[in-house]
Amino acid sequence: MGDEFYAILKLTSGEEILSLISIDENDGDPVIVLQNPITMKVLHSHHGIHIKVRSWIEMSSDDIFIIKSDKVITMTETKDERLIEIYKNYLEDEDDLDPLSDSIEKPAGKIKPSRKMGYLSSVEEARESLENLYNLKDTKES
């Protein structure tokens, strides 16, 4: 098997795929081995530019796919650290959410909600505050 590198492939089907790939010879006919291929779509909104990332074949539990070179229009190696980072982050997130995974690990770091995030109080504190307001109202009416 050849060297592994990150590449963007344009297939004859029109799909664009980002994957860690290697090129292998199969009886003299080169085949492309894709590891965890994903598709990326750039979305423009009034909030800015976003990238939508999806698995190339969503219903498969496999993470390695083989395609023949005649199904590829063009292929370009990418060294763009942002794209590679998005790719790696997506794979890590997918592993965390995989329902077929034997052990689902919870994130190690928990963030405590703050007022800046919209957290005002606990349910218990809010209940006490509202009860105090209600009790003050009752005493003023008497």
- Tokens (6 digits) for 115: 């007022």
pTM of the model: 0.61
pLDDT of residue 133: 83
The residue ranges of DSSP E strands in the chain, in sequence order, are 5-11, 16-26, 29-45, 48-55, 64-68, 72-77
What are 50-92's pLDDT values in tens digits? 888 999 998 888 999 999 989 999 999 999 998 999 999 888 8
CA angle 133, 137, 138 (to 5 degrees): 120
Q: Quick check: 32 and 69 in contact, CB under 8 A?
A: yes
Distance CA(14)–CA(79), nearest Å, equals 23
What are 109-125's pLDDT values in tens digits? 666 666 666 677 778 88
DSSP string over 108-120: S--PPP-GGGT--
pLDDT of residue 26: 72
